[in-house]
Structure formats: structure tokens, C-alpha cells
Amino acid sequence: MKKRRSKKCELCGVGERVPFAYLVKREIDGRTYTAEVPATRCNKCGEVLISGPGLVLFDSALTVQLARSGSIGPRGFRWLRGRAGLEAKKLAALLDVSPGTVSRWENGKKPLERRAVALVASLALEALGEPASTRDLLGQLASGRKPGRRVRLDVPRVAGG
Ligand SMILES: [Zn+2]
């Protein structure tokens, strides 16, 4: 554990850091994902520090939500590929498509293929150590069900911040 007990502001050296809940927002394919993440604000200079582990948990929760949503667009596909730790070229090789195809999927110039989306979603979940049933993911994608425009993520609480 890092020693982070000092509440004094490192920036101005006079203020005290006051905890508050910072609303993190990320927009992917026209859908906004939000969650509150622990943060502190200096009561003198106003500098805001957002919890690093909190942001990591936010991104993980977003990845899980997106992968299982059954509604994945070009940006979401790109996000999941990144979370799976795959470069576009590597993914192209794994799927036996040209790198140009992956690039066109991700910039919306070519419709996404459901099996590619399911595979990338599955790989992203696996990279997080989350259970990933390819059959369920395909079923969800086939259902055509769409979550709302605003998705509130359930981000586990982190100590400190
Ligand atoms: Zn300060």
C-alpha cells in the first residue's frame, strides 16, 4: 500500500485535500457511460486528484458492460480490441482478415461482423479474468437488444482516493 495519508495539497502546499465523488463519463458509439469515482479537491487551489485505481475500475466495468451489452458499434469494437490487448494487425491475423478490414470496421466504413464482435468481446472479458461465454455473447448480439443512451456503471468502491 502506498502511504497517502497526508491530506496536505502537494501543489500549493497550504490547502487540504477534501474527498468527493468525481463523475467519470465516457462516450462510445453515442452511448454515455458514467460512474462516480473517488477523488479529492484542494480547498485552497482547487486542484483535483482522481483516484487512479478508481479510473482503472471504471474502465473495467465499462468493458464488461459493453462486451455483454449486445450492442457494439465501431468505437466499442475498437475499445474492446484495445482491452483485449490486441493491435489491429494482430487481430486481423487471428481472424484471417486483412488489416484494412479491421480498420474499416473500426472507422465505420464496413459493417461489423457479428462473429468478429463476439470474439473480440470474449477476448476482452478473458483479459479481465471475467467469465466469457461466446454462446451467450453471440445470443446477446443476435437479440438486437439495445441498452439505453445513458448507462450507469456499477464500479466497485476503492479505498482512499
Ligand atoms: Zn492546493
Q: Where are the domains of the chain?
A: 17-152
In the DSSP assignment, the letter for residue 109 is: S
Indicate whether 106 pLDDT > 90: yes
Indicate whether 158 pLDDT > 90: no
Q: What value does the mean pLDDT take over residues 79-89?
A: 97
Cα separations in angstroms, 22 against 30, 50, 51, 90:
22, 7, 9, 36
Query: Ligand 1 mean position to 48 CA, how many Å?
Result: 9
Q: Give me the pLDDT at residue 2, please.
A: 52
Q: What value does the mean pLDDT take over residues 40-48?
A: 96
Q: What value does the mean pLDDT take over residues 91-111?
A: 97
Query: Ligand 1 mean position to 43 CA, how many Å?
Result: 7
Identify each DSSP E strand in 43-123 by its residue range: 48-50
Q: Full-prediction pTM beyond 0.75?
A: yes
Whether 61 and 125 have beta carbons less than 8 Å apart is answered as no
